Amino acid sequence: MNFRNLLKPLKRRVLQRSQTASRRGSDVEWSAETLEPRLLLAGDAGQEISFAANASGIQIQAIGETGEEYLEVRYDNRDIGYMLLTTEWATYQFDVDYTSIDPSKLQIHFLNDLYDPDQGIDRNAQIGSVTIGDQVLSSDAADVFSTGTWLAEDGIVAGSGRGSVLNANGYLQYGTPTGSELVVYARGAEGAELMSVQAGEYHANRINVGTELQAYRFYVNEVIDPNSVRIEFLNDLYRPDLGIDQNLIIDRIELDGVTYQSEDASTYVTGVFRDGQIRSGYYQTEQIDARGYMQFDATTFESERYRLDQSIVGDGLTELTTTFPFDDHHAINSNNQSVLAWTETDWGQGSTFVRTINVQVVNADGTVDENFNGGEPVDLIAATMAHLNDTSGETYRYSLREVATDSQDRILAQVQKYDTNGFFNNYTTFLIRLQADGQFDAGFASNGFLQINEGSITTASAMALDGQDRILVSNATTIARYNSDGSADNSFGDSGSTGIPAPDVANYTPGSTKLAIRDDNSIVVLTGLQYNANPSANYLVQLNEDGSTGTWFGDNGIVSIPYQQFSLYSNFSERFEQMIVDDQGRITLLGDVAVLRYTINGQLDATFGDGGRTLLPEYTVSDGQVFFGSYNNFFIQDGEGRFLIPYVGGLARLTADGQLDATFGGGDGLAAFQPIENGNLQTYSVREGLIDNDGELRTLARANTGFGVAYWELV
């Protein structure tokens, strides 16, 4: 079943439900006028499905009352799939890569309860057996915990052994949860409002809120802090012509028996209408007027975090251009200066499309280095076209790949040009070197320009410098090495180049590469692209300093990264696109939601995370702000070996052994970029992070008015 295709029409139905849609909360009593809920009965129909004893993943047997019931399956606080039920018993398969599955971490959530007695509609969902390998779990078992089952004797309360039916938005859990109890008291202005609740890694989405104040009760399998509780208003609608103004009113929350009021001075709220604008701040209000969220106890931060260094020019952000480049790269030289290369586009005279690749140097105090080209950027496209006698004016054919500095602070930029024959593009890579003063280095190749022809280097190319300032350039299949003067290094491979060993697997297709250099100048290549039957998304390849295969590494020089599928709807395995090789030769990889570490000889490092792997939160709330998605544009280590990973809205920090660092941010390894501290910085745009010579974080970033270098201090 393709759950992605089911999601969109179901969302439309949820949004279009009537004002009478919600009538149950976990503390709501039933009246004599309410429609008696009909409990679904499995009978023999629920037992007609058979399962193979060695079946992989999880199989869930379920039926809906109306055929519109929508269920979410969560394991260990992570989404693993959705089910749109029918009025017939069906079995739903969910594949996971866990080596073992703890039933007490499995939850099945009912998301779109609808009760409309006028139309005779009452959505209910029944869960039959749940099969994990050869283990069959009964949803009627005494230890199955429910938060959404109605019973005649007590209505809807949470508890164990309440049966297999979900009559209200809630969940079944196959073991009694331990952790925190959260109660949210909320109502809607119109009765059609939808909210989501997040608490730590727990997430309950698209909950109907009626016009009467109701208590919504949640049990979280971890002890959570109040500042990890975020309640979001999802479907704001203002139609004065129809007399409609949807707003979410949150009276308070109770967490493990302690009350936190929405009007408390520590409650942060977005989506508040004040003085003719939608605003964010500590407004001490119960009502969210526009799409936004409420964050409780959001000012009680005691752990370390990064904030903009106000001692730097521009209050921590040096803006270099008023445009927003689509491609930018960053290096820090021995003088602690930032070397930037970025691409800008514009429309010239006669509506001609013009592209520039600019290189500029910024001092450690945020001022522009006047000793570099008089403080002005160097345009690499114009210089390359002059070097090639290219008078076409077609600047759009050039693109920026990378920028780096060597031991003498010379700047090396990788620029690519394509030409087309009408059917195919042919790519040429240029290495361009500038002296520290911004002049083209006449001692490098041809007046500062080296044209790479080896191996037909294409868009898959990567670049790295080793400890002798030798330059390595790779594509999907070939690595070439050049001496520091730009000449071919004939001591490497065959006359300066070597092929990248390919794994012996069916349907293998070479893909983009990343290069990392060990202290002994040997080379680690991250390569590979999953295709068809490939059991792996990526491979690690070890090459010795002379370009020969490091057969001592993995399986004859190659490590196959095990299949990992953590992202919802993904038909392919996790993509690992960032790599760090530390001073012990260990290799750490960052994927979409996972971090892996390998020993120097290519074995998963059992001392890191959970047997070599750490899973990152896909979305959570911490430190007064939502975190959604590690967006994988940089991955760095600080001076203490801790890993920094960017999120939309902040940073995650892992300890050197792969645990989320409890001394960072909200006490769970996640620290927000607080808008009240960071002025006009667009926090979702933080890119290309590096640790400078003082051990502080420096990134590229956008503000409301332009693009430049952001300087962060650890506080």
SS3 311: coil
What is the pLDDT, as a whole number, of residue 667?
73
443-452, 621-630, 660-669, range with the lowest pLDDT:
621-630
Can you tell me the mean pLDDT for 58-65? 93
pLDDT higher than threshold 70 for residue 555: yes
Q: How far is CA 41 from CA 83, 171, 239, 355, in A?
A: 19, 18, 43, 67
SS3 512: coil
Can you tell me the mean pLDDT for 516-531? 85
Can you tell me the mean pLDDT for 168-181? 83
Percentage of the chain lying above the pLDDT 90 cut: 45
Q: Which residues contact 543 (CB under 8 A, 6 or more apart)?
A: 479, 498, 500, 522, 523, 524, 525, 549, 550, 557
pLDDT higher than threshold 60 for residue 50: no
Q: How confident is the model at residue 458 (pLDDT cuts 50, 70, 90)?
A: low
The torsion defined by the Cα of 580, 581, 584 and 590, in degrees rounded to 10, comes to: 40
Q: How confident is the model at residue 524 (pLDDT cuts 50, 70, 90)?
A: very high
| Bridge partner list, 113 | none
Asked if 70 contacts 99 with a C-beta cutoff of 8 angstroms, the reply is no
Per-residue pLDDT tens for 643-664?
999 987 788 999 999 999 988 8
Q: How confident is the model at residue 179 (pLDDT cuts 50, 70, 90)?
A: confident
Percentage of the chain lying above the pLDDT 70 cut: 83
pLDDT higher than threshold 80 for residue 241: yes
Q: Which residue has the higher pLDDT, 505 or 11?
A: 505
What is the pLDDT, as a whole number, of residue 36?
33
d(CA 112, CA 125): 10
Per-residue pLDDT tens for 87-133?
999 999 887 655 567 777 888 999 888 888 888 899 999 999 998 87
Q: How confident is the model at residue 473 (pLDDT cuts 50, 70, 90)?
A: very high
Can you tell me the mean pLDDT for 80-88? 89
Can you tell me the mean pLDDT for 46-56? 32
What is the pLDDT, as a whole number, of residue 300?
65
Q: How confident is the model at residue 532 (pLDDT cuts 50, 70, 90)?
A: very low
Maximum mean pLDDT: which of 503-512, 527-536, 565-574: 503-512
Average pLDDT over all residues of the chain: 82
b/e for 226-246, b at 16 or more Cβ within 10 A? bbbbbbbbbebeeeeeeeeeb
94-103, 290-299, 412-421, 648-657, range with the lowest pLDDT:
94-103
Can you tell me the mean pLDDT for 477-494? 94
Can you tell me the mean pLDDT for 266-270? 85
371-380, 461-470, 646-655, range with the lowest pLDDT:
646-655
6-15, 72-81, 280-289, 448-457, range with the lowest pLDDT:
6-15
C-alpha 412: how far from chain center: 30
What is the pLDDT, as a whole number, of residue 334?
95
Q: How far is CA 405 from CA 332, 655, 711, in A?
A: 7, 28, 19
Can you tell me the mean pLDDT for 289-293? 86
pLDDT higher than threshold 70 for residue 450: yes
pLDDT higher than threshold 80 for residue 620: no
Cα-flanking dihedrals φ and ψ of residue 694, to 5°?
-95, 5
What is the pLDDT, as a whole number, of residue 53?
32
Q: How confident is the model at residue 225 (pLDDT cuts 50, 70, 90)?
A: confident
pLDDT higher than threshold 70 for residue 10: no
Look up tokens 């092929």; give the residue: 499
Length of the chain: 715
Instruction: Please give the biggest Cα pair distance in the chain.
Output: 91
pTM for the predicted model, two decimal places: 0.67
pLDDT higher than threshold 80 for residue 478: yes
Q: How confident is the model at residue 41 (pLDDT cuts 50, 70, 90)?
A: very low
Tokens of 244: 């409609």
What is the pLDDT, as a whole number, of residue 485?
96
pLDDT higher than threshold 50 for residue 571: no
pLDDT higher than threshold 50 for residue 49: no
Tokens of 687: 């890119």
Maximum mean pLDDT: which of 518-532, 567-581, 590-604: 590-604
pLDDT higher than threshold 50 for residue 174: yes
What is the pLDDT, as a whole number, of residue 625?
65
Tokens of 451: 């044209």
What is the pLDDT, as a whole number, of residue 674?
62
SS3 386: helix
Of the chain, the end-to-end C-alpha distance in Å amounts to: 49
pLDDT higher than threshold 50 for residue 9: no
What is the pLDDT, as a whole number, of residue 66?
94
Cα-flanking dihedrals φ and ψ of residue 642, to 5°?
-80, 150
Ordered strands of the 378-379 beta sheet: 327-332, 338-347, 353-362, 378-379
Q: How confident is the model at residue 563 (pLDDT cuts 50, 70, 90)?
A: low
Can you tell me the mean pLDDT for 364-375? 96
Q: Which residue has the higher pLDDT, 462 or 361?
A: 361
What is the pLDDT, as a whole number, of residue 45?
28
What is the pLDDT, as a whole number, of residue 247?
96
- Geometric angle at alpha carbon 236, from 234 and 240, rounded to 5°: 170
What is the pLDDT, as a whole number, of residue 5?
29
